[in-house]
Amino acid sequence: NVREVLIKATKLTKRYGGFVAVDGVDFEIYRGECVGFLGPNGAGKTTMVRMLYCFLPPTSGDLTIAGLSVRDKCMEIKQVVGVAPQEDNLDIDFSVLKNLVVYARYFGISKGEALKRSEEQLRFFQLQEKRDMHIEALSTGMKRRLIFARALLHNPQVLLLDEPTTGLDPQARHLVWDAVRQLKKMCVTIILTTHYMDEAEILCDRIIIVDHGKIIEDGKPKELIKKHIGENVLELDYDEALISFLKQAFSDARIETMGERMQVFTSKPYDMFEGFLHEHKLSNVTIRKANLEDVFLKLTGRGLRADD
């Protein structure tokens, strides 16, 4: 069962003067995969994604999508890639339906077909009752869903979602998640950037972590969690006297302090934590499942960065 490589980057580099935003990266994305590009602000992930839809040209290296190089096939690439950008760039002069129909016409889709596809997308994103409303009357969540719907009008093979649920309430967020799951079943290749680690863990088949313009990790969420963190994390109130006991009990432990709390990361199983807690009779303690956020913070650090 050989998987088809749909997107391939080779020594992909983007420089702005002396600053290297993307530093000679190689990656492959398979047809039907959902891949999350994660990284702190300024890490280079947004630049990588912008090169994928020909918004930015590479300085050197190559990037191909469905066998088409971004160097000389941008018109053809735009036919196979759908983009839902983070910013709201809907046309405020048009109704909800007209925003979709006019956009579809850019792809040479006939008026009748454009109308049919637009109505289908409005149903898919539960916006059919808003079809005649003006854009300014929509909530943030509705606008995000409409941008998402617009990106799918030309039946793209690849869908790029840049921070798809930023600023959404939980209901709208779950609606977007459901749409991503349905598109995965339809074998659409999805690339998303997000700062929500739970979102990446739930939706993505694979995670690519980017920092300082380089890919520092690439793998399935569960495998990355197991490799870098282990199964469980012990969280408890900070107590300097306890640290030596923790180090004795868990020789391989990595202990991190966050304000008034300590986190203990170890590959030891759950019952080892329970045994320690039984011995030391501590209050305000939790044993929780390790998650992708733990991996992200371990690999990229806890310090805040300047914006992209």
Q: Is residue 57 part of a domain?
A: yes
* The domain boundary residue, chosen from 225, 244, 275: 225
Rounded Cα distance, 182 and 207, in Å? 19
Q: Is residue 10 part of a domain?
A: yes
Place of tokens 């921070």: 163
Q: Is residue 302 part of a domain?
A: no
Question: 213 and 244, same structural domain?
Answer: no
Q: Is residue 266 part of a domain?
A: yes
Q: Are 165 and 199 in contact (CB under 8 A)?
A: yes
In what side-by-side order are the strands of the sheet with 60-65? 19-30, 5-16, 60-65, 68-69
Q: Is residue 50 part of a domain?
A: yes
Q: What are the structure tokens assigned to 222, written together?
A: 């569960």
Alpha-carbon Rg of the chain, whole angstroms?
23
Structure confidence at residue 132 (pLDDT): 96
What is the span of the domain harbouring residue 105? 5-225
* The domain boundary residue, chosen from 196, 225, 254: 225
Rounded Cα distance, 1 and 237, in Å? 50
Q: Is residue 295 part of a domain?
A: no
From first to last of the 308 residues of the chain, give the pLDDT tens digit: 678 999 999 999 999 999 999 999 999 999 999 999 999 988 999 899 999 999 999 999 999 999 999 999 999 999 999 999 988 899 999 999 999 999 999 999 999 999 999 999 999 899 999 999 999 999 988 999 999 999 999 999 999 999 999 888 898 899 889 999 999 999 999 999 999 999 999 999 999 999 999 999 999 999 999 999 988 898 989 888 888 888 888 888 888 888 889 998 887 767 778 888 878 777 788 888 999 999 999 999 866 545 44
The domain that holds 239 is classified in CATH as: 3.30.70
Question: 160 and 50, same structural domain?
Answer: yes
Question: 217 and 72, same structural domain?
Answer: yes
Q: Is residue 296 part of a domain?
A: no
What does pTM read for this prediction? 0.89
Question: 248 and 128, same structural domain?
Answer: no
Structure confidence at residue 1 (pLDDT): 66
Residues in the chain, total? 308
Question: 210 and 241, same structural domain?
Answer: no
Question: 282 and 161, same structural domain?
Answer: no
Question: 65 and 190, same structural domain?
Answer: yes
Nearest to 14 by CA among 40, 52, 41: 52
Question: 34 and 164, same structural domain?
Answer: yes
Question: 199 and 71, same structural domain?
Answer: yes
Rounded Cα distance, 191 and 49, in Å? 8
Sign of the Cα pseudo-torsion (101, 107, 111, 115, in order): negative
Q: What b-and-e string marks burial along 118-156, b requiring 16 or more CB atoms within 10 Å of the CB?
A: beebbebbebeebeeeebeebeebbbbbbbbbbbbbbeb
In what side-by-side order are the strands of the sheet with 214-219? 81-84, 158-162, 189-193, 34-38, 206-211, 214-219
* Beta-strand relationship, 68-69 and 232-237: unpaired
H helices present in 63-95, as ranges: 74-80
Rounded Cα distance, 154 and 105, in Å? 9
Question: 274 and 243, same structural domain?
Answer: yes
The domain that holds 195 is classified in CATH as: 3.40.50.300
* Beta-strand relationship, 60-65 and 5-16: antiparallel
Structure confidence at residue 302 (pLDDT): 65
Question: 239 and 115, same structural domain?
Answer: no
Residue 77 backbone phi and psi in degrees, to 5: -65, -40
Question: 54 and 197, same structural domain?
Answer: yes
Structure confidence at residue 308 (pLDDT): 43
Q: How many domains does the chain have?
A: 2
